[in-house]
């Protein structure tokens, strides 16, 4: 199986094109505000560590645990209403960030925003996963490309808004999410509806008992642990090296490099098997993370961010493509939702362990630990991806 990068192709169904463009707008809005949340809570609202952790954890748990149910609902009932609900809930959550100051209100707003993520992504990824198998690798690569486009633009817009008032960024995100929700309500999103839609519990049972999916989840767990460092260890370390603008630079570099890499490396990605991509990316991650312990300046750290972004841009669409390809017809949303829920376990560990390491341990201990996690990914992929039964794409 191969992975091919792509832009939004005209020959794809109109609903797929609209979803991909919406992914870019959504991620721009996301990255316009999310990097500012922790900074605003600590410096303007003066939330302590427990309060800050409560807000961020409420968002994480809702966003990554609920897609199990959301994906199964999308398999059964379609994506449009679920996507609409998700966007409106995210708008309500960011409106709460803009309007309220208390810990309780921010925690509730974070739950709204996180639940919105779960509904939105459950609907979007169920729809993308229902595309013909021969098209899956190109669709998920294009999805990643549009997400990177949003990630490149969002931090710049957020930084401009923050120069005036951070709450302007929160309000702008609320408007974007709400507007997209209203547009989606009247749009044709569901295409290729499954003729074998499963009952909700049957779809979930199929996902959690599928040996191939369980093996893939085990392989992905080290990446689930490393990926959240983009929001924890990376900005904290960059801020230590160069102040708050160093943290913003991390996200700009991440978005721009991801977009350029997918645009320039199409032929190489097409010629490489997905299993080989996973093994190679983990090996590169192990070496790259471990090497940060000898970095002394922000320029060297941003060079690491370039390498990390290439690894991220390879692994995310590859894992999504493998997950959707393993799923029986009518269960794509449940499979992708189960994969996301497993990501919450690894991601939660990544948030807590990563923040503890970067704040309490030496640079060498922190980055060598991350490198060891990458090495674990190499070992797991060597053992568990061998002979993984991926159904062939229909001709």
Structure confidence at residue 8 as a pLDDT band (50, 70, 90): low
Average pLDDT of the residues in 240-267: 79
The highest-confidence range among 68-72, 252-256, 291-295, 359-363, by mean pLDDT, is: 291-295
CB atoms within 10 A of CB 321: 27
Non-local (6+) Cβ contacts of 387 within 8 A are none
Tell me if 7 is assigned to some domain.
Answer: no
Residues 170-220 pLDDT 10s:
888 899 899 988 888 777 655 544 445 555 566 667 777 788 889 999 999
Region 275-289: mean pLDDT is 94
pLDDT at 137: 74
What torsion do the CA atoms of 49, 67, 22, 3 make, to the nearest 10 degrees? 110
378 falls in which pLDDT band (50, 70, 90)?
very high
At residue 200, the pLDDT reads: 56
For residues 225 and 394, is the Cβ–Cβ distance under 8 A? no
Per-residue pLDDT, 285:
97
pTM for this prediction: 0.76
Query: 390 in a domain, yes or no?
Result: no
Residue 6 covered by a domain: no
Q: Which of 10-14, 110-114, 154-158, 228-232 has the highest mean pLDDT?
A: 110-114
For residue 4, tell me if it sits in a domain. no
Identify the top-confidence range among 137-151, 214-228, 245-259, 309-323: 214-228
- Average pLDDT for residues 131-145, to the nearest whole number? 76
Query: Which has more pLDDT, 130 or 233?
Result: 233
pLDDT at 390 > cutoff 90: no
Predicted confidence (pLDDT) at residue 21 exceeds the cutoff of 60: yes
- Residue 29 domain-assigned (yes or no): yes
Who has greater pLDDT, 109 or 167?
109
Task: Give a three-class secondary structure readout of the chain.
Answer: CECCCCCCCCCCCHHHHHHHHHHHHHHHHHHHHHHHHHHHHHHCCCCCHHHHHHHHHHHHHHHHHCHHHHHHHHHHHCCHHHHHHHHHHHHHHHHHHHHCCCHHHHHHHHHHHHHHHHHHHHHHHHHHHCCCHHHHHHHHHHHHHHHHHHHHHHHHHHHHHHHHCHHHHHHHHHHHHHHHHHHHHCCCCCCCCCCCCCCHHHHHHHHHCCHHHHHHHHHHHHHHHHHHHHCCHHHHHHHHHHCHHHHHHHHHHHHHHHHHHHHHCHHHHHCCEHHHHHHHHHHHHHHHHHHHHHCCCHHHHHHHHHHHHHHHHHHHHHHHHHHHHHCCCCCHHHHHHHHHHHHHHHHHHHHHHHHHHHHHCCHHHHHHHHHHHHHHHHHHHHHHCCCCCCCCCCC
pLDDT score, position 178 = 92
pLDDT tens digit sequence for 35-47: 677 767 867 888 7
From the CA atom positions of the chain, what is the Rg in Å? 20
Would you say residue 317 has pLDDT above 90?
Answer: no
In angstroms, the CA 354 to CA 370 distance is 9
Question: Residue 117 belongs to what domain range?
Answer: 14-384
Q: Quick: pLDDT tens for 60-103.
A: 778 877 766 666 666 666 677 888 888 999 999 999 998 999 99
Indicate the range of 200-214, 273-287, 317-331, 350-364 predicted with least confidence.
200-214
CATH number at residue 120: 1.20.1250.20
More confident residue, 187 or 244: 187
202 in a structural domain: yes
pLDDT at 195: 44
Average pLDDT of the segment spanning 275-294: 94
- Residue 233 placed within a domain: yes
Task: Count how many domains the chain has.
Answer: 1
Residue 179 located in a structural domain: yes
pLDDT more than 70, % of the chain: 82
Mean pLDDT of 242-253: 78
Average pLDDT of the chain is 80
Q: Give the pLDDT score at 138.
A: 78
Residues 168 and 161: their CA atoms lie apart, in Å, by 6
CA distance 384 to 220: 11
The whole-number pLDDT of residue 10 equals 58
CA distance 175 to 184: 14
């Amino acid at each position: 199986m191969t992975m091919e990068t792509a832009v939004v192709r005209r020959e794809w169904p109109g609903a797929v094109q609209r979803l991909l463009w919406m992914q870019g707008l959504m991620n721009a809005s996301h990255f316009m505000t999310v990097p500012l949340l922790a900074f605003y809570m600590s410096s303007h609202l003066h939330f302590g560590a427990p309060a800050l952790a409560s807000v961020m954890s409420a968002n994480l748990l809702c966003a990554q645990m609920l897609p199990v149910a959301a994906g199964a609902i999308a398999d059964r009932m379609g994506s449009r209403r679920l996507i609409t609900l998700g966007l409106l809930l995210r708008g309500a959550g960011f409106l709460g960030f803009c309007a309220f100051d208390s810990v309780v209100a921010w925690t509730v707003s974070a739950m709204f925003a996180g639940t919105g993520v779960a509904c939105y992504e459950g609907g979007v990824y169920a729809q993308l996963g229902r595309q013909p198998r021969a098209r899956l690798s190109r669709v998920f690569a294009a999805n990643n490309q549009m997400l990177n486009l949003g990630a490149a633009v969002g931090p710049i817009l957020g930084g401009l808004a923050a120069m005036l008032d951070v709450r302007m960024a929160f309000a702008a995100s609320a408007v974007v999410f709400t507007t997209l929700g209203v547009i989606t309500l009247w749009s044709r999103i569901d295409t290729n509806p499954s003729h074998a839609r499963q009952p909700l519990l049957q779809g979930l049972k199929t996902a959690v008992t599928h040996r191939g999916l369980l093996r893939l989840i085990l392989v992905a767990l080290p990446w689930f642990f490393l990926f959240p460092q983009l929001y924890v260890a990376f900005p904290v370390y960059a801020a230590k090296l160069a102040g708050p603008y160093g943290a913003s630079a991390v996200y700009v570099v991440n978005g721009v490099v991801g977009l350029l890499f997918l645009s320039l490396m199409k032929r190489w990605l097409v010629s490489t098997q997905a299993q080989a991509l996973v093994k190679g990316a983990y090996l590169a991650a192990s070496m790259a993370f471990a090497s940060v312990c000898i970095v002394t300046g922000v320029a060297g750290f941003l060079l690491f961010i370039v390498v990390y972004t290439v690894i991220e841009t390879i692994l995310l669409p590859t894992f999504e493509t493998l997950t959707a390809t393993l799923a029986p017809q009518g269960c794509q949303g449940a499979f992708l939702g189960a994969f996301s829920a497993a990501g919450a376990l690894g991601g939660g560990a990544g948030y807590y362990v990563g923040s503890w390491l970067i704040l309490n341990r030496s640079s060498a201990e922190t980055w060598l630990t991350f490198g060891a996690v990458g090495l674990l990914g190499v070992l797991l992929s060597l053992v568990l991806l061998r002979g993984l039964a991926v159904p062939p794409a229909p001709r």
